[in-house]
Amino acid sequence: DIQMTQSPSSLSASVGDRVTITCRASRSISNYLNWYLQRPGEAPKLLIFAASALQSGVPSRFSGSGSGTEFSLTISSLQPEDFATYYCQQSYGTTVTFGQGTKVEV
Amino acid sequence: QVQLQESGPRLVKPSETLSLTCAISGGSISPFYWSWVRQPPGKGLEWIGYIRYSGTTTYNPSLESRLTISVDTSKNHFSLRLSSVTAADTAVYYCAKYSNSGFDNWGQGTLVTVSS
């Protein structure tokens, strides 16, 4: 199985900050990497697919980059609704794995 | 926009079988993949498995021995059965539409508690 490791596990930030979250795969997954945001009590929401493609309707302050084993999600200017937990997920091959999550809090 | 809705018992006894159904509205079950994902209280997301509209399945190896995912194209829904449950299977269970581009539509989730 491909293991996904996110860092940090949590971070403190303020409105307007630039925030970057990293996701590392245990082996190369090309660009089969997706990012999600999950607010408390809600289902996850797809933000970025194929490492860097913005899902329809997602604000442009979210961006993704990387390929192979190293990926990142950047929020250019944190908004109040962005305080949430973020997950990466690989879809290389037939099985699926998620990172452990990164909680972005005040 | 496809909408998904999970349904099924919220309380299951240990050693019994957990059964959930996901109803799909606003779109057809074909030609897509459909998946189950769960989240234990306060923890992260765990992929359970997915099924193609044709019935082909792929399961999480850690759950495969207890797991059955099936699809009913005539009813536009798919289902999950997880046998021999324990307290460790207590979680919010989500159904979702899946492709290599990710899980792009999710149900609201349903909390299933395993307890006697």
Neighbouring CB atoms inside 10 A of A67's CB total 15
Contact A35, A47 (CB under 8 A): yes
Please report where in the chains the tokens 């099985």 appear, as a residue: A95
Q: CB B60 to CB A95 under 8 A?
A: yes
Q: Which residues pair with B93 in a beta bridge?
A: B38, B110
Q: State whether residue B44 is helix, strand or coil.
A: coil
Contact A67, A2 (CB under 8 A): no
Q: What are the tens digits of pLDDT across the range B76-88?
A: 999 999 999 999 9
Residue B109: list chain A partners with CB under 8 A: 43
Q: What are the tens digits of pLDDT across the range A12-52?
A: 999 999 999 999 999 999 999 999 999 999 999 999 999 99
Q: What are the tens digits of pLDDT across the range B30-88?
A: 889 999 999 999 999 999 999 999 999 999 999 999 999 999 999 999 999 999 999 99
Q: CB A46 to CB B60 under 8 A?
A: no
